[in-house]
Structure 1
Amino acid sequence: MSKYPVTVGDIEFDEKLDDPAFKKCTPEKLISIQYYYGTKEFDYKGEKLAIIEKLQKEKISSESKMNGYITVRFLVNCEGKTGLFRVQQMNADLKETAPDKELGEKLLRFTKSLDGWIPKEIKGFKAGYYQYLTYKIENGKVSEVLP
């Protein structure tokens, strides 16, 4: 048993953070697929525009008026369900920073609520993949969603 993941960037299950009901579709020994594999389009029903429209309705903001980036990375399985969410925050200079815990939690909940993810299809088989959303924050409000 190796202490290293099969692929750099794999997210390992953490019983404190992750839903035990969420299942990966591929055996653990296979390489994980990244969001950019096989297609250049955004694999979400309605594409990125649908996510932006939903985010605008939520009016998520922070009292702290922070500037920077909050990235939520997760796995989409072959059924289009999501899990293994991880959050990272950076300041405007792209240096890891002390988190705005409240804003990070709001954006994590929002990201978890997105239910239009489309599984990748490779040689006729549906496959799961890693995806991320980076929220650019200006004066405590989301100004852009990346990628």
Structure 2
Amino acid sequence: MSKYPDIVGDITFDEKLDETDFKKCGAGKDKPFSFQYYNVSQQFDYKGEKIAIEERLKKENISSEKKINGYITVRFLVNCEGKAGLFRVKHLDSDLKDVALDGEFENKLLKFTKSLNGWRPKKIEGLKIDYYQYLTYKIEDGQVSEVLP
């Protein structure tokens, strides 16, 4: 068994981080293949589009007491049923250096991202697929100022 993923960027299951009931279900029965976000579409495939996420985030008023600046990215897999899982968090300061910003704030954004349930399933050539998605939260003075992409 290789210590490297089959595809660069694949997220492997981690029993400490991932829910055991989340399953990959895309093309390839023996080894489900997951597409990267840039392979399947340039559009944002969420019910209500990105604006629905931004509006909900604004209502929840998630912020940090620390006046931090930077980026928090949550990357995850959307399976062929439109369910999300295998969430991973990356944080960068405003100089794009890998620096922990605010663990409690990051956990709030992770929990928010996990609660989003409007991801649309996708097909390629008639086959249901799994695909990677990400949300990057731009942080200015402890507030989310923008959701990317």
- The answer to whether the superposition gives a TM-score over 0.5 is yes
Please give the alpha-carbon distance, in whole angstroms, between the structure 2 residues aligned to 1:106 and 1:24: 25
Structure 2: stretches of 5+ with no match in the other structure: none
Q: 1:93 aligns with which of 82, 95, 98?
A: 95
Q: 1:29 aligns with which of 31, 34, 37?
A: 31
Q: How many residues align?
A: 147
Give the match for residue 20 of structure 1.
Answer: 20
Give the match for residue 138 of structure 2.
Answer: 136
Please give the alpha-carbon distance, in whole angstroms, between the structure 2 residues aligned to 1:87 and 1:38: 22
The Cα of 1:32 is off from its aligned counterpart by: 2.3
SS in 2 for 1:37: helix
The Cα of 1:2 is off from its aligned counterpart by: 1.2
* Preserved contact between residue 6 and residue 31 of structure 1 (Cα < 8 Å): no
Q: Does 20-29 or 130-139 show the bigger shift?
A: 20-29
1:66-145 aligned at under 5 Å gives the runs 66-145=68-147
* Preserved contact between residue 6 and residue 29 of structure 1 (Cα < 8 Å): no
CA RMSD of aligned residues (A): 1.2
Give the match for residue 42 of structure 1.
Answer: 44
User: In structure 2, what residue type is equivalent to 1:101?
Assistant: G
- TM-score, structure 2 length as denominator? 0.94
User: In structure 2, what residue type is equivalent to 1:57?
Assistant: K
Runs of 4+ in 1 over 2 A off after TM superposition: 26-32
Structure 1: stretches of 5+ with no match in the other structure: none
The Cα of 1:125 is off from its aligned counterpart by: 1.9
Q: Does 22-31 or 110-119 show the bigger shift?
A: 22-31
